[in-house]
Amino acid sequence: MKGTKTRETKYDAVVIGSGPNGLAAAITMAREGLSVKVFEAADTVGGGTRTKELTLPGFKHDICSAIHPMAKTSPFLRSLPLEEYGLEWIYPEYPLAHPLDNEPAAVLYRSLSETVKSLGNDGRSYQKLFEPLVQNWNKLAPQLLGPLSLLPDTPLLMARFGLKALQSAESLAGSYFSTPRAQALFAGLAAHSILPLDKLSTSAIGLVLGAVGHVENWPYPKGGSQAITNTMADYFKDLGGEIETGRRINSLAELPTSKTILFNTTPAQLLDIAGDYVPSGYAGKLKKFKYGAGVFKIDLALSEPIPWKDEACRKAGTVHAGGTLEEIVNSEQCLENNSHPEKPYVLVAQQSLFDETRAPKGKHTCWAYCHVPSGSTKDMTEPILNQIERFAPGFRDLIIGQHTMNTQAMQNYNPNYIGGDINGGKQDITQLFTRPAGLFDPYHVPDTNMYLSSSSTPPGGGVHGMCGYHAAQSALKQFR
Ligand SMILES: Cc1cc2nc3c(=O)[nH]c(=O)nc-3n(C[C@H](O)[C@H](O)[C@H](O)COP(=O)(O)OP(=O)(O)OC[C@H]3O[C@@H](n4cnc5c(N)ncnc54)[C@H](O)[C@@H]3O)c2cc1C
């Protein structure tokens, strides 16, 4: 097998990168009694789940991921005893609110029936769309959060989901809903896809995020997202695993000998590090892998909570400040046109409202970002602040500290965020289910002992660890 060491091996597995998927892969291997070592370029573990005082002392900001419905509902993460290692979940009163100019905010309540009731004429359509998903979530989750299967466990349920999920969010919102509130709510959910909303399959992410809101709320870890990977790392070490931070791997020659290598990187880095060992046909496919649009992020220290006009927004952990369906469609269309929206769709998280450990007493944090074209260096601070101010007059006066990151800063911070793409690759219909190369086993680098375990594999972006878990399952076949 190419890439296999012939000397006596030091480890059963080495993992390059300690993001949630890298640690998930490492834990899955270590749980089988294998010797595993993780190498991490940064000084701390965590990848997209780190927390830091970015603005002022005492204000803890999530540098990347903030809100974690996918972690809480992930079949893999649920199987880990992370609470015993100190992970504590915070549940906001409402998962999500979506303010509008001339109407009450649309709210994703934890309760499906409350949401249905709140949406008036569109309540029944909302119920028709989400109830089958919410009721069957435990059966659907393992299938939705894994590689595409030609023989799903519940074919009828999956087919029903697929019929809706494959549609563009713009057309699904238009065909199911007639009121601006329901349309905007769905558009805001689907825009997490970081794609123009007229693209096929943009409904998939909206449907999943809405459903998990009803299944588990949209919780986040006390103290910051760093707690997820810190507790994973502690558990991994108790299983006998080793972690070396501050060690960026540039070539396979830098690694100790091992029976298998898992890459918590994107395809581009896999090729940089191990290109000579990657079969040329497969390398050709990886070179065609598409990276997605980027993000511009802002973290704020505030003297008071955000003064949202609509009371519901003051009770939500997450607020989508993007306006109507049409506005969100226009904002996300810019990603395709290589332009920047004046009124961007802004994702806002206000963790300190429900987690007093995030800021000094009485003070607050604000985490917000918008989508921008890949590689953009445009400063989107003003458009982001304007959107929040639009729904929360007086907000700007409360800012006492500020930190921003454009797409370059994102990539400098984490080499996996190529051009600012936070999902490890474009999640369009050609790559959503079969990334990175359209192979039956998306994790295995053919004819080698190497595996890709990052969010560049199914099920893609988000903190759920499922990519790492499935990659390790693929790698474990080598040992069985
Ligand atoms: C601004 C932002 C907001 C987000 N919001 C959310 C959210 O609210 N909820 C959510 O679920 N997800 C969110 N995400 C996405 C989430 O963070 C990622 O999908 C997730 O972290 C991907 O996990 P991963 O393990 O595949 O890779 P990563 O978390 O990116 O980890 C990769 C790790 O590998 C290391 N590495 C890379 N190359 C090398 C090398 N050569 N040698 C050694 N180490 C290397 C990196 O330093 C990094 O630590 C957000 C991301 C960003 C940036």
Write down all domains in the chain, each with its CATH number in brackets: 11-53+60-66+224-290+425-476 (3.50.50.60), 90-218+293-413 (3.90.660)
89-126 confidence digits (pLDDT tens): 999 999 999 999 999 999 999 999 999 999 999 999 99
Distance 328 CA to ligand 1 centre (A): 25
Distance 64 CA to ligand 1 centre (A): 8
Nearest CA-CA partner of 442 in 416, 466, 411, 418? 466
pLDDT recorded at residue 152: 84
Q: Is 36 helix (H, G, I), strand (E, B) or coil?
A: strand
CB of 274 within 6 A of ligand 1: the answer is: no
Distance 354 CA to ligand 1 centre (A): 25
Q: Checking DSSP bridges between strand 346-349 and strand 106-108, what pairing results, if any? A: unpaired
Per-residue pLDDT of the chain (480 residues; tens, 9 = 90+): 444 444 568 999 999 999 999 999 999 999 999 999 999 999 999 999 999 999 999 999 999 999 999 999 999 999 999 999 999 999 999 999 999 999 999 999 999 999 999 999 999 999 999 999 999 999 999 999 988 887 788 888 998 998 999 999 999 999 999 999 999 999 999 999 999 999 999 999 999 999 999 999 999 999 999 999 999 999 999 999 999 999 999 999 999 999 999 999 999 999 999 999 999 999 999 999 999 999 999 999 999 999 999 999 999 999 999 999 999 999 999 999 999 999 999 999 999 999 999 999 999 999 999 999 999 999 999 999 999 999 999 999 999 999 999 999 999 999 999 999 999 999 999 998 889 999 999 999 999 999 999 999 999 999 999 999 999 999 999 998
pLDDT recorded at residue 7: 53
Return the number of other C-beta atoms located less than 10 Å from residue 309's C-beta. 14
Cβ-based neighbours of 104, under 8 Å, separated by 6 or more: 181, 310, 312
Distance 419 CA to ligand 1 centre (A): 14
pLDDT recorded at residue 231: 98
pLDDT recorded at residue 4: 46
Q: What is the DSSP string of 116-161?
A: HHHTGGGHHHHHHHHHHHHHTHHHHHHHHTS---SS-SSHHHHHHH
Distance 416 CA to ligand 1 centre (A): 7
- Contact of 216 with 94, CB cutoff 8 Å: no
CB of 42 within 6 A of ligand 1: the answer is: yes
Q: Crossing angle for the helix pair 123-135 and 155-165, nearest 10 degrees? A: 140
306-338 confidence digits (pLDDT tens): 999 999 999 999 999 999 999 999 999 999 999
- Contact of 268 with 283, CB cutoff 8 Å: no
Tell me how far apart the alpha carbons of residues 173 and 182 are, in angstroms, rounded to a whole number.
Answer: 8
CB of 146 within 6 A of ligand 1: the answer is: no
From residue 426, give the alpha-carbon distance in Å to each of 52, 164, 283, 418. Answer: 27, 20, 18, 11
CB of 208 within 6 A of ligand 1: the answer is: no
Site to substitute for ligand 1 among 14, 72, 414, 451, most atoms within 8 A of C-beta: 414
Return the number of other C-beta atoms located less than 10 Å from residue 150's C-beta. 6
Tell me how far apart the alpha carbons of residues 470 and 142 are, in angstroms, rounded to a whole number.
Answer: 11
CB of 40 within 6 A of ligand 1: the answer is: yes
Nearest CA-CA partner of 415 in 19, 147, 9? 19
Q: Whose CA is nearest to atom 2 of ligand 1?
A: 64
Is 66 exposed, middle or buried (CB count within 10 Å of its CB: 0-12, 13-18, 19+)? Answer: buried
Return the number of other C-beta atoms located less than 10 Å from residue 448's C-beta. 18
Nearest CA-CA partner of 468 in 476, 479, 457? 457
- Contact of 115 with 126, CB cutoff 8 Å: yes
From residue 80, give the alpha-carbon distance in Å to each of 137, 218, 270. Answer: 19, 19, 28
Q: What is the DSSP string of 416-457?
A: TSGGG-TTSS--STTTTTTTTT--SSSSB-TTBSEEE-STTS
pLDDT recorded at residue 458: 96
CB of 264 within 6 A of ligand 1: the answer is: yes
Tell me how far apart the alpha carbons of residues 154 and 129 are, in angstroms, rounded to a whole number.
Answer: 18
Nearest CA-CA partner of 368 in 358, 380, 359? 380
pLDDT recorded at residue 150: 76
Tell me how far apart the alpha carbons of residues 344 and 321 are, in angstroms, rounded to a whole number.
Answer: 8
CB of 231 within 6 A of ligand 1: the answer is: no
Cβ-based neighbours of 194, under 8 Å, separated by 6 or more: 292, 293, 295, 332, 335, 371, 421, 422, 423, 427
pLDDT recorded at residue 433: 83
Q: Is the dihedral of CA 35, 38, 43, 48 positive or negative?
A: negative
DSSP 2: B
pLDDT recorded at residue 3: 45
**Residue showing tokens 């919102």:** 173
pLDDT recorded at residue 432: 85
Distance 178 CA to ligand 1 centre (A): 37
Tell me how far apart the alpha carbons of residues 418 and 32 are, in angstroms, rounded to a whole number.
Answer: 33
